[in-house]
Amino acid sequence: MKLSIPGRIFRAFIILVTGLYLLGPLYGMLDFSTKPLGLEGGRTLRAWTAIGDNPDVASSLIASFSIAIVVMLLVFLLVVPTVIWVHLKLPAFRRPMELICLLPLAIPGIVIVVGIAPLYRWISINVTESPVSLSGVYAMLILPYTYRSLSAALDLVDVATLAEAARTLGASTMRTIFGVVMPTIRSGIMSGVVISLALVLGEFTISALLAFDTLQVVIYLLGRQDGKIAVAVALSALLFVFAILFAIPTTKRQRVILDADVA
């Protein structure tokens, strides 16, 4: 159904206001990071060129993206099949599972750190000191968001009928989950992946209190030395995330991929 002219104007107005709201802070960050020092005239890229000269920034980026990859794999291989299984086989358990997944929202981050600090002390002594070990607690923190996005996507699809048709055609349970249901809720899965990436790149409290040098911790430490470099690093990370968002397949491309999979 086509929108009327007032509807189109209102939609364009909302898009314009939202765009200005989102782009305004980004422009402010770019403006601040390129301001000259002292009485020097003209713009300077000193803060941006200094990013490559700081080894802590590169190591923190590698650590944060390594954590993000592990968290996304945990979401894809553990959380998604579990949510689908509950919707298919244990519908009476949906409400208790939702309450369990919402617990990280009700528990403050400092309380979580106090609870897991002894465990991570043991891990750092006996297993590894790598920041990648934070993947487990980060996967727990994103449960409220990933569960809601997956549950909303599953509610829009007649999962029971799809599963019954797949079993009738001889598909196993794993084939039904990974080959039939998951491609159907691709949008919900991609939402969970994006949320995982955003949380890992933006989380500060837990990594700082556990003494891991992730991206946000390094940005904080740089901000105490040179605010322009810290802002440049933060803006470059945001731009990288935006590039990943634009690289995600659109609805049309997803439909083509799904048709190819079904064929």
User: Is residue 23 in a domain?
Assistant: no
Lookup: tokens for 15: 């898009």
Burial 11-38 (b: 16+ CB within 10 A, else e): eeeeeeeeeeeeeeeeeebbeebbeeee
Q: Looking at 123-137, 208-222, 237-251, which range is the least confident one?
A: 237-251
Helix axes 227-247, 5-33, angle to 10 degrees: 140
User: Is residue 106 in a domain?
Assistant: yes
Distance set, CA 207 to CA 72, 112, 122, 126, 159 (Å): 18, 11, 16, 19, 38
pLDDT bracket for residue 19 (50, 70, 90): confident
pLDDT bracket for residue 254 (50, 70, 90): very low
Mean pLDDT over 5-11 rounds to: 81
Q: What is the CATH number of the domain that holds 203?
A: 1.10.3720.10
Which among 42-56, 93-107, 186-200 has the top mean pLDDT? 93-107
Distance set, CA 33 to CA 55, 180, 196, 234 (Å): 19, 48, 28, 10
User: What's the confidence (pLDDT) of residue 37?
Assistant: 66
User: Is residue 213 in a domain?
Assistant: yes
User: What's the confidence (pLDDT) of residue 263?
Assistant: 44
| Number of domains comprising the chain | 1
Q: 185, exposed or middle or buried, with CB in 10 Å at 0-12, 13-18, 19+?
A: buried
Q: Domain containing 78: what range?
A: 60-262
Q: Which residue do the tokens 């397949």 mark?
A: 249
User: Is residue 194 in a domain?
Assistant: yes
| Triad 166, 170, 173: Cα angle to 5° | 65
DSSP 134: G
Size of the chain, expressed as the number of residues it contains: 263
What is the rounded CA–CA span in Å between residue 165 and residue 162?
5
User: Is residue 149 in a domain?
Assistant: yes
User: Is residue 245 in a domain?
Assistant: yes
pLDDT tens digit sequence for 114-159: 888 888 888 888 888 888 888 888 888 888 888 888 888 888 888 7
DSSP 107: S
Residue with the bigger pLDDT between 218 and 41: it is 218
User: What's the confidence (pLDDT) of residue 260?
Assistant: 41
Helices (H), 4-93: 5-33, 46-53, 55-74, 80-89
User: Is residue 77 in a domain?
Assistant: yes
CB 42 within 8 Å of CB 36:
yes
pLDDT at 259 > cutoff 50: no
User: What's the confidence (pLDDT) of residue 38?
Assistant: 61
What is the rounded CA–CA span in Å between residue 203 and residue 217?
9
pLDDT at 212 > cutoff 50: yes
What is the rounded CA–CA span in Å between residue 18 and residue 14?
6
User: Is residue 40 in a domain?
Assistant: no
pLDDT tens digit sequence for 43-85: 777 778 877 777 888 888 888 888 888 888 888 888 888 888 8
